[in-house]
Amino acid sequence: MERHWKTILVCCIGSILEWYDFALFGLMAPVFTRIFFHAENEKSLLLVFATFASGFLMRPLGAIFFGSKGDKQGRKSALSSTIIWMAISTTLIGCAPTYHQLGILAPIWLVVLRLLQGFSASGEYPNAITLMSEVSPPTKRGFFASFSVMGVVGGILLGSLSITLTNYFITHAEFEAWGWRIPFIASIPLGCLGYYLRYKLPESSFFEQLARNNNLSPSPIMHAISLNKRAFFETFSIYLLATVAFYTVFIYFSGYLAHVKEISLEKLSLINSINMGIMIFFVPIFGYLSDIFSRKAILLIGALCILIFTYPLAMIYQLFFYHKCFSRYYLRFSQAPCP
């Protein structure tokens, strides 16, 4: 049992470090509109969102590549590779020239690095959650597997905190001039730490047994889909709902608050830190409840909550929007037209 806990904790720490790298881009979206796209209008924000989304274009390819690598060579091998590629791509973003330095080639270079980030991240989550499921007891699989989600949320939380701390020690002008690079370049020591931890990580006994018995499939992706077509598409659809809801709050609302409410990046990162802190608290609780009741019951509750609370949340943001317009008109705070 001690070996299982060590594997899960090391894997979770590695996920935190890797998703820290992946999340920084989304957290920096309001700043990147000026640094890499030389504008502050809605069009530039859409371009930043499109650049962020470009990373997801590589997710299927990366999932197939690293998923197959994990099924053939072991989860440890795949997880060690993904964290290195993620650290390299993130560091290069921190060293990337701005629009003023390289012109239109700057956002193009940014897209290339974002594609590489997406390719790396796609191999992290499936291999991490598979490894945690393989080393966990059958009666506690939901609880132990939830640590992979905690790693994702913890990485975003670490990214938010790094931006908050950087803004605390330097001025806003310094942050936009050079300070935004600090969290990205910090991925070098974090990536090395993650690689070291995963290099020492033991392989799951389940995979080792398959390897000893020569039961490893030469085409694991096609083999899995051919045997579980319905389950494959059902799982894809279920996870799609959670992903859309998560990135709507994590990315879209941050851009909305930055461009409509004109909230500073320091405050936005603090808001994200609070949100992620709340989420990371509830993830293992629902993982534990899924072991007691059922995965289906927890999934249905989650889907129902998204259905019920999405519209009221959007209305709250809309009320804030109208309140700002009213305040500008009544108090004559600004002569600029309402956004």
3-state secondary structure 249-301: HHHHHHHHHHHCCCCCHHHHHHHHHHHHHHHHHHHHHHHHHHHHCCHHHHHHH
Q: Choose the weakest-confidence range: 11-15, 149-153, 171-175.
A: 11-15
Torsion of CA 179, 197, 55, 59, to 10 degrees: -170
The answer to the question of residue 14 being in a domain is: yes
CA–CA gap between residue 258 and residue 271 (Å, rounded): 12
The answer to the question of residue 173 being in a domain is: yes
Residue located via tokens 């909230």? 263
Label residues 120-157 b or e (16+ Cβ within 10 Å = b): bbbbbbbbbbbbbbbbbeeeebbbbbbbbbbbbbbbbb
Residues 303-331 have a mean pLDDT of 68
Q: Other C-beta atoms within 10 Å of 305: how many? A: 11
pLDDT in tens, 179-207: 999 999 988 888 888 888 888 877 877 88
Residue 252: pLDDT above 70?
yes
Identify the DSSP state of 208. Answer: H
Assign residue 236 the CATH number of its domain.
Answer: 1.20.1250.20
pLDDT at res. 322: 53
CA–CA gap between residue 261 and residue 245 (Å, rounded): 21
Contact present, 250 and 40 (Cβ < 8 Å): no
Q: Which two tokens mark 37?
A: 């796209």
Q: Choose the weakest-confidence range: 5-14, 80-89, 252-261.
A: 252-261
The answer to the question of residue 215 being in a domain is: yes
pLDDT at res. 42: 60
- Give the whole-number percent of the chain exceeding pLDDT 70: 88
Q: Other C-beta atoms within 10 Å of 215: how many? A: 8
pLDDT-derived band at 126, boundaries 50, 70, 90: confident
Using only C-alpha atoms, what is the Rg of the chain? Answer: 21
CA–CA gap between residue 207 and residue 275 (Å, rounded): 36
Q: Other C-beta atoms within 10 Å of 38: how many? A: 15
pLDDT at res. 63: 86
Q: Which two tokens mark 306?
A: 């998204």
Residue located via tokens 């598409």? 233
The answer to the question of residue 236 being in a domain is: yes
Among 24, 193, 38, 28, which residue's Cα sits nearest to residue 107?
38
Q: Which two tokens mark 230?
A: 């319905």
pLDDT at res. 81: 87
The answer to the question of residue 127 being in a domain is: yes
Contact present, 8 and 15 (Cβ < 8 Å): no
pLDDT at res. 185: 92
Task: Provide the residue range defining the domain that includes 287.
Answer: 2-292
pLDDT at res. 41: 56
Residue 338: pLDDT above 60?
no
The answer to the question of residue 308 being in a domain is: no
pLDDT-derived band at 2, boundaries 50, 70, 90: low
Q: Other C-beta atoms within 10 Å of 304: how many? A: 10
Residue 158: pLDDT above 60?
yes
The answer to the question of residue 299 being in a domain is: no
Residue 77: pLDDT above 80?
yes
Average pLDDT in the chain? 81
Q: Other C-beta atoms within 10 Å of 261: how many? A: 15
Choose between 76 and 336: higher pLDDT: 76
Q: Which two tokens mark 78?
A: 């795949």
Alpha helices in the chain (DSSP H): 2-27, 29-35, 42-57, 59-73, 75-94, 99-102, 105-135, 141-169, 172-174, 181-185, 187-199, 205-212, 220-227, 229-247, 253-259, 265-292, 295-331
Residues 300-312 have a mean pLDDT of 88
Residue 328: pLDDT above 60?
no
Q: Choose the weakest-confidence range: 103-117, 282-296, 317-331.
A: 317-331
pLDDT at res. 39: 62
Residue 96: pLDDT above 50?
yes
Among 193, 234, 214, 178, which residue's Cα sits nearest to residue 31?
178
The answer to the question of residue 322 being in a domain is: no
Q: Which two tokens mark 58?
A: 């590589």
Q: Which two tokens mark 289?
A: 């409840």
pLDDT at res. 182: 93
